[in-house]
Structure 1
């Protein structure tokens, strides 16, 4: 048992507010059952910081609360959180935190930048184009594509476009979440997630891979993620060569981006090998989310995973 104070931050000023609240509540509840003193902080949709009683405390009050804790546990998914914003605040406030630093969060959130990093490592990605509102009219549909915001999460604004008529609405849906949009070729392959945990001693722990089973010709979009019970297979049935290729690529991306704590690296496994989809530096973190379930397959409970992350974030 420990009385270590941990600031658990949820919510956020973005489209993933509710998902972030769920992750933060699960983390805080589990830490409290393990004996930690969880200091619950929330950022509401307007960007106002609030305390456990839902009272507004402003940024100065939030910094004061953070500094009263031994470590912060940011659980904001998406922009204004996962993109390194909270890591930068913790860094400036001189409060250790669980998770990746500013640079890794910013690069991981930016799907176009992530593709460039992958290319430098020789890791395949789907061929794609970066569009802005000003240049979107010049894009001509020629084959099935996936349209997505460059910097958003939970598959919001992501659309599989099968014909020219669907392109305009798909672009509008993506531009509703970001000023930049990525149009990628549709990749045919198995959807495989790999979780990488970086330890304080520099070692890397890779959990058993997870396969997301989706119907043929479909994608794992927001409705599939949150509209029912996703079909996850853990561990993913993989031969040894594919497993090693996926793990090598996942650790390569983790290190090249400069990640810390735990990150989820998502791939399509094709006949030609792994194709990187995206990197999540603050993945979903309820007991039923992918990453905790992947580590549970090793025998590590949700509580044990959280305890390890907190202890590794504390000053040596």
Structure 2
């Protein structure tokens, strides 16, 4: 899903999302929106990539302006600059089989020392360092499950979907909907459902959900 469209939709629906905008809408950094001017760390990300590819963490407006200057002008509509939201990365999976919506657990990832965000190397376990997953419980977890149920319907999702967020002061700040999540043992989607299904059962159920979704129409 286009991250800029997702954030705009969720802001309109009243969900917490990071403040930011497309790079093509920015001029001199002294005229940037207040939230970007006051953020000590900024995030530059492509709006149409997965696995946290090409994301840059930038310390201050001057560093962000330099990074933006390196982007060719025709490509600046493909990048979003937003405030850095502090907190662990989180995710929750959800799919529909028949009339039933099945939600997974809200899972948070504690990062190794020195890692600033949950990047593609950590997600794909490409190095020696590992993020540590833990299941969220209590009222915050209930809120996230309720959000997932509402968002799945509001965005007209089909098949298996993951909603990703930053857990900031007990509040989920939503980043994106992953409408085609990776599905293998140890993947984020599988971790969300591991307390409910063996991985083989999740494969069968999510495949049934995907088939049902295609029969009903295109995926969100």
TM-score (norm 2): 0.79
**Displacement, 1:310?**
2.8
Q: Distance in 1 between matches of 2:202 and 2:72?
A: 34
Structure showing greater radius of gyration is: 1
Q: Secondary structure at the match of 1:165?
A: helix
1:128 to 2, 20, 29: 20
1:310 aligns with 2:207: yes
State the superposition RMSD in angstroms: 2.8
SS at match of 1:124: coil
Query: Cα distance 1:148–1:244, how it changes in 2: closer, same or farther (>3 A)?
Result: same
Tell me by how many angstroms 1:120 deviates.
2.3
Unaligned runs of 5+ in 2: 31-35
Aligned to 2:169: 271
Which stretch has the larger CA shift, 220-229 or 179-188?
A: 220-229
Q: Does structure 1 conserve the Cα–Cα contact (< 8 Å) formed by 2:93 and 2:103?
A: yes
Determine if contact 1:159/1:170 at 8 Å carries over to the other structure. Answer: no
Alignment of 1:230 with 2:130, yes or no, is yes
Structure 1: distance between partners of 2:186 and 2:17: 28
Q: Pairwise mapping of residues 28-67 of structure 1 onto structure 2 (< 5 A)?
A: none
Equivalents in 1 of 2:26, 2:173: separation in Å?
A: 25
Task: Map 1:61-210; keep pairs closer than 5 Å.
Answer: 109-132=1-24, 138-140=28-30, 142=37, 143-163=40-60, 164-165=62-63, 167-169=65-67, 172=70, 179-201=77-99, 203-210=100-107
Local SS of the residue matching 1:245: helix
8 Å Cα contact 2:10/2:16 also seen in 1: yes
2:108 corresponds to which of 211, 223, 231: 211
Q: 1:162 deviation in Å? A: 0.9
The count of corresponding residues between Structure 1 and Structure 2 is: 202
Instruction: Give 1:189 deviation, angstroms.
Output: 2.0
Which secondary structure state, in structure 2, belongs to the residue aligned with residue 212 of structure 1?
strand
Matches of 2:130 and 2:69 in 1, distance apart?
Answer: 26
Q: Is the 8 A contact 1:149 1:175 kept in 2?
A: no
Question: Does the 8 Å contact 1:151/1:178 carry over to 2?
Answer: no
Aligned mates of 2:131, 2:155 — CA distance in 1:
29
**Cα gap change, 1:177/1:292 in structure 2, threshold over 3 Å: closer, same or farther?**
farther
Tell me the distance in 2 between the aligned counterparts of 1:309 and 1:255: 17
CA contact (8 A) 1:198 1:260 kept: yes
**Aligned equivalents of 2:141 and 2:73: distance in 1?**
36
What TM-score comes out, normalization by structure 1 length? 0.57
**TM superposition shift of 1:179:** 4.2
Structure 1: 5+ residue stretches without partners: 1-108
